[in-house]
Amino acid sequence: MSNSKVALVTGANKGIGFAIVRALCKQYAGDVYLTARDVGRGTAAVESLKKEGLSPIFHQMDINDPKSVGNARDFFKEKYGGVDVLINNAGIAFKMADKTPFETQADVTLKTNFFATRDMCNVFLPIIKPGGRVVNVSSMMGSMALARCSPELQARFRSNDIKEEELVGLMERFVSEAQAGTHEERGWPSTAYGISKTGLTTLTRIMARNLSKDRPGDEILCNACCPGWVKTDMAGPNAPKSPDEGAVTPVYLALLPAGAKDPHGQFVSELKVQPWAKDGAILREILEHSLFNSEKELFSEIRTISADGPKEHASSS
């Protein structure tokens, strides 16, 4: 068994995930694994970084494939005794002009961005080592979507006592009501990507609470973050940030020093803890003070025209 520390990044063959691996290779004192579902693209990404003088390691993993996730868990447990840093970056988003029916978009988007990421966490959290760091790459779009939910839904997502089972039920309800065409009248906004990130940030808060309760002495920190509006395949060419700039906040959370107590269970953007919205005023705050020029512009770029379906979140948030 290796004595090295180890960091694992999902969906890392391009975009923000790739940039996170690059930064970790430069800053992290341990082995850094670039994971991707496609062996060819993942291997090519690793070779590209090796040409920069870096030493990432490739491991195949598709978060939508339970067998793949289980095999990866077994590998890291056997070789390293667990994982020190886990960055859940993999995900997808449909483009604005995609003709796929919204009910299908809701199902497909939440299947990866929420349900598969949740499954990934449930498989890997038991092998996160003491002092470990867990980072879920979420998005400010989740906060925007939350602000558009009904007051009743907002209250549950913001609750400090919401359990994972209730959250899963809410996510399943969104998909079901989207498929029935009743989601708007039941209090949901028409943004599958946004709701998937609302769910992911809420899940992060639950995970952090559970870690504090179940493993109080292990000092594991778990946070969600928004990398910002980043120039990638998924977010479009007009975004102001480069992937390397988008990697700054996720890497900051991954490298929080030993003994740090916070942030934990927080949503972090631009290296700052963001409020998980006490009321709908959060939307105005985001639009007035966020890194995005305007909500309309952001939505257009995050979900711009595409002829080939959803783009991988390996590209953006």
Residue 303 is assigned to a structural domain of this protein = yes
Q: Is residue 79 part of a domain?
A: yes
Each residue's pLDDT tens digit, 224-271 = 999 876 545 555 555 557 788 889 999 999 999 999 999 999 999 999
- Provide the domain count of the chain: 1
Measure Cα distances from 224 to 57, 100, 163, 198, 249 in Å. Answer: 25, 29, 17, 11, 10
Is 162 within a domain? yes
Does residue 252 fall inside a structural domain? yes
Average pLDDT in the chain:
87
Tokens representing residue 158 in the block: 């913001």
Write out the DSSP string of 111-141. IIIIIIHHHHHHHHGGGEEEEEEEEEE--HH
CATH of the domain at 74: 3.40.50.720
pLDDT of residue 278: 55
Bridge partners of 221? 133
252 catalytic residue (yes or no): no
Residue 1 covered by a domain: no
Range from 5-19, 95-109, 117-131 carrying the lowest mean pLDDT: 95-109
Would the pTM count as exceeding 0.85?
yes
The whole domain housing 275 covers 6-309
Question: Using one digit for the tens of pLDDT, what is the confidence trace for 72-105?
Answer: 999 999 999 999 999 999 999 887 778 899 999 9
Q: What is the pLDDT of residue 287?
A: 44
Asked if pLDDT for residue 296 goes beyond 90, the answer is no
Residue 316 covered by a domain = no
In angstroms, the CA 317 to CA 302 distance is 8
Please give the residue that has the higher pLDDT: either 317 or 240. Answer: 240
In a domain, 177, yes or no: yes
Task: Work out the end-to-end distance of the chain between its first and last CA atoms, rounded to an integer number of angstroms.
Answer: 35
Residues contacting residue 92 through CB under 8 Å, at least 6 positions apart: 108, 109, 112, 113, 234, 310, 311, 312, 313
Mean pLDDT value of segment 152-165: 96
28, 33, 80, 193: the catalytic one is 193
Percentage above 70 pLDDT, the chain? 83
